[in-house]
Chain A
Amino acid sequence: MPYKFVQEHVWDKYLKKDRLPHIWCPGCGLGTALSAFLMGIELAKIDLDKLVVVSGIGCAGRAAGYLNVDTFHTTHGRPIPFAIGLKLARPDLHVVVFSGDGDLATIGGNHLIHAARRNHDILVICSNNFNYGMTGGQVGATTPENAITTTTPYGNLENPFDLPYLVTAAGAVYVARWTSLHVRRLAKSIAEALQLKGFRFIEVLSQCPTVYGRRNNMPTGLDMLKFFKENCVIKNYAHPKDVEIKPGKKIIIGKFIDKTEEKLSFEDKVWNLIKKLERGK
């Protein structure tokens, strides 16, 4: 039999192929993060007709649009409340928010903490590239101290959010942090989280060589991945208060919180109430 080229890529069924190529820069970590998401969907055996992915604005915000499921590209900072409306209306669907740190934690920070507080039944995958990539590399709420960005030319004077600590304090029931280097662990974590209930949050540290690394002594994607390799330490169930990202300190990654059994999601409570009132008629 003559040799036949394989025309189909293993991830093709998960992608809107007519949307490719994607817009991300060479060396960017978002493609890897998205692949890990696809791997997670496959591992969790999620029915693609019952999966909805919502993004906000920014580089990561474009992720939803490449997926071969129902996808929504919403306004800046607002994918979480959009997802909440959708999930409340359609409790039978898996609703995932895939977006960036600037979108979810800076402009959308208020929605992030309140969604965690109310324990909405959604999975939030937050790609953290430490800055605003799409607009040219400005400082954000996750930019490390002293880092150079286009709006902190003398070094960042602000203190960044420690996202796992923030969402844990607000009430998230599943909290993990991985990087675009730890693909398989990330995929497994996504698969696990997809099958749980309540407000689940996975931070993915992701390299942005083009507008962040270049200004901070890591000019290529490989440099940034090397940085993750040399500086990350896996510590499952580390207390989120101990995982702050600080210059000169190791980056703690792993699954920090898993207490999805401990409380009902807001959606469950709402639908329980409706059923109770119906029975009382």
Chain B
Amino acid sequence: MTLKPGMYFMSGNEAIAEGAIMAGCRFFAGYPITPSSEIAERLAKRLPQVGGIFIQMEDELASMITIIGASWGGLKAMTATSGPGFSLMQENLGFAVMTETPVVVVDVQRGSPSTGLPTLIGQGDIMQAKWGSHGPYEIIALSPSTVQECFDFAIKAFNLAEKYRVPVIVLMDERISHLYEKVVVPPKEKLILVERKRPKSRENFLPYKAEEDLIPPMPPVGEGYHFHITGLTHDERGYPKIDAETHEKLVRRLSDKIRIHADEIIHIDEIMMDDAEIAIVAFGSVVRPARYAIKYARKKGIKVGLIKLSTIWPFPDKMFQKYADRIKAFVVAEINYGQISREVKRCVGDRAKVHLVPKMGGAIHTPEEILNAILEVK
């Protein structure tokens, strides 16, 4: 059974698993890795109860391609990992992009690079989520900052994956994944669940002929379509075609189908921004100390607001451009040495100051650290 509506007390990892089940996820393939393992453990128990399939694979390469196979088999499918495993998934993540396969990948970020800090927080996979696989492409990435959001964003991730036929990354961090909080599970009838669009008929069907929204309907396997799916550059028939024209058309469309829908996809919380002169930019766990820092700053009479990035990719360029002339400084607090801050800089150029408050990982910012940064740019 999916969870009954009501109030629950659970961890971020458990909320991701329950949200996924609520979204209709019926397939999980993964490989154990700290700090994501509780997602697999919860789903190993829960998926068979709802008629779903759990399999622990031999590595993350297999996990990623197995969920792609399951998705083509008609199931909503996901995997969960952390940085080292996420690195191993990148090639097949690109395969999902190229073949337009809806899948959800949860990356619980830990201190990095390399084995880094397995049990402690990091936020260093922001750019990897966007650029980790080879080649030009667009992808969707969400970042929850509460356990409730872990639940909600898991559902949202599946909806976006199904709608746009693209892998969706849920960029968690260790602190949120292990945090226990209240989760309100809404009644089923209040949920909006999206299913991939299917072709209307087999007659003259071309698997990669996109509709007006640039998204092609996804053919079901085993029903006589006799389609061919390849990671090679392919034409509308899905057949390999190795030339610049076909490549230009295909790869442009793969990115454009996300770009033209950016406004629909992007969700940003703008908190106390109406009169703000300084904006803190934060996501994941860092949203919490950021909120405290704002409270202290406001007490001192400094007008500070918060831009909380719930969607990381596609990046909310428009929103930052909107604020660029009004906001004196963007204080970007992230647990890495400057990833989101580069994006903010790209959007606002020289129109506003972009001040990075970095942390290499293992600990979250204290409110004081963010407050001091505010005082510095004031």
Contacts and interface: CB of A to CB of B under 8 A. Distances in A.
Interface of A: 16, 18-19, 48-50, 52, 54, 64-65, 68-75, 77-78, 81-90, 92-93, 110-111, 114, 266, 270, 273-274, 277-278
Given A82-B66, A93-B222, A270-B53, A72 B72 contact: yes
A49 B240 contact: no
Contacts of B68: 74, 82, 85
20 contacts: A52-B221, A72-B229, A73-B229, A73-B232, A78-B62, A78-B92, A81-B62, A81-B66, A81-B69, A82-B65, A84-B62, A84-B66, A85-B27, A85-B66, A86-B73, A88-B53, A93-B221, A111-B61, A274-B48, A277-B49
Main secondary structure of the interface of B (DSSP, over half): mixed
A273 B54 CA distance: 11
Contacts of B70: 85-86, 88-89
B232 A89 contact: no
Given A71-B226, A90-B74, 9 more contacts: A65-B230, A70-B222, A72-B230, A73-B228, A73-B230, A75-B65, A81-B69, A85-B72, A89-B77
Chain B contact patch, size range: 35 or more
B57 interface: yes
Interface string B207-227: 000000000000001111111
A162 to B, nearest CB: 21
B72 A86 contact: yes
B66 A75 contact: no
B258 interface: no
B51 A278 contact: yes
A90 B69 CA distance: 10
Contacts of B66: 81-82, 84-85
Contact of A65 (B61, B62, B72, B228): B228
Question: Which are the 3 A-B pairs with shortest beta-carbon distances?
Answer: A89-B73, A85-B69, A85-B70
A19 B239 contact: yes
Contacts of B73: 85-90
B227 A71 contact: yes
A50 B92 contact: no
Interface string B221-250: 111111111111000010110000000000
B33 interface: no
Contacts of A49: 222-224, 226
B69 A89 contact: yes
A18 B221 CA distance: 20
A74 B67 CA distance: 13
B46 to A, nearest CB: 11
B153 to A, nearest CB: 24
A85 B29 contact: yes
B271 interface: no
